[in-house]
Amino acid sequence: EGLLLESGGGLVQPGGSLRLSCAASGFTFGNYAMTWVRQAPGKGLEWVSAIDASSRSTFFADSVKGRFTIARDNSKNTLYLQMNSLRAEDTALYYCAKQYINAWYGDLWGPGTLVTV
Amino acid sequence: EILLTQSPATLSASPGERATLSCRASQSITINLAWYQHKPGQAPRLLMFDASTRATGIPARFSGSGSGTDFTLSISSLQSEDFAVYYCHQYHNWPLSFGGGTKVEIK
């Protein structure tokens, strides 16, 4: 079924940058689209960004457009989220999720990495 | 942007009771709706996709229904492990979006 493990979270000053990573194992990473979803303290889930299996298409929530970029390295089975110009409202637990084949819902999620701005 | 409104925000119920959760979309999303279960300190768990198809390993007491703008997740007989927060998620249009969640708590 597979595993996902996020890393790279931490404490950063407003205006700063962080790069999150999501290491995948146990499935053919290059066959699946991936997304990032976040949960601010005491709040619900918020979709952040998505990338298709080949990196041809990327998508972003309006709240992060122009500040965040998503990328993947299929040779390293790793997904990335580059976060620039961070704001206090970006404070959240960030999850990566493997998308079901040819669909945009997540059937495998990591435990999350905490970003505090 | 498609807004998803979940109701109720909190549902108090006893083990063995039936729970019915609602998710309403601001425009038609056909059947492009998923449901997730989320417990504190854990990753979200996919329960349902395409509105009414159970994900692998999900017990039959969970069922989903609806199309267009109105959707329902039902739990026929609540078990202790079912007390959690439930989110609906639309994947019909970009940007993808989640509902605000329904917390199912022990009465």
In tens, the pLDDT along A89-110 reads 999 999 999 999 888 999 999 9
pLDDT at residue B19 tops 90:
yes
Q: What is the average pLDDT across A2-28?
A: 97
Instruction: Give A25-71 pLDDT, tens digit per residue.
Output: 999 999 999 999 999 999 999 999 999 999 999 999 999 999 999 99
Closest CA to B97 of B13, B9, B27: B27
Distance from CA of B102 to the nearest CA of A (A): 10
**pLDDT value at residue A39:** 98
Q: Which residues contact A71 (CB under 8 A, 6 or more apart)?
A: A51, A55, A79, A80, A82
- A109 and B43 within 8 Å at the Cβ level: the answer is yes
Per-residue pLDDT at B78 = 96
B25 to A105, B42, B74: CA distances (angstroms)? 16, 27, 18
pLDDT value of position A1: 80
Mean pLDDT for B39-62 is 96
* pLDDT tops 90 at residue B67: yes
Is pLDDT at B48 greater than 90 in this prediction? yes
Q: Amino acid identity, residue A7? A: S
For residue B45, give both structure tokens: 């768990």
DSSP conformational letter for A86: -
CA-based radius of gyration for chain B: 13
The residue-averaged pLDDT of B30-44 equals: 96
**Disruptive mutation site among A22, A36, A45, A48 for chain B (greatest number of B CBs within 10 Å):** A45
- Angle formed at CA A49 by CA A46 and CA A53, multiple of 5 degrees: 135
Q: Cα torsion for B82, B62, A40, A24, to the nearest 10°? A: 100
Average pLDDT over residues B4-19: 96
From the list A59, A105, A109, the residue facing B94 with the nearest CB is A59
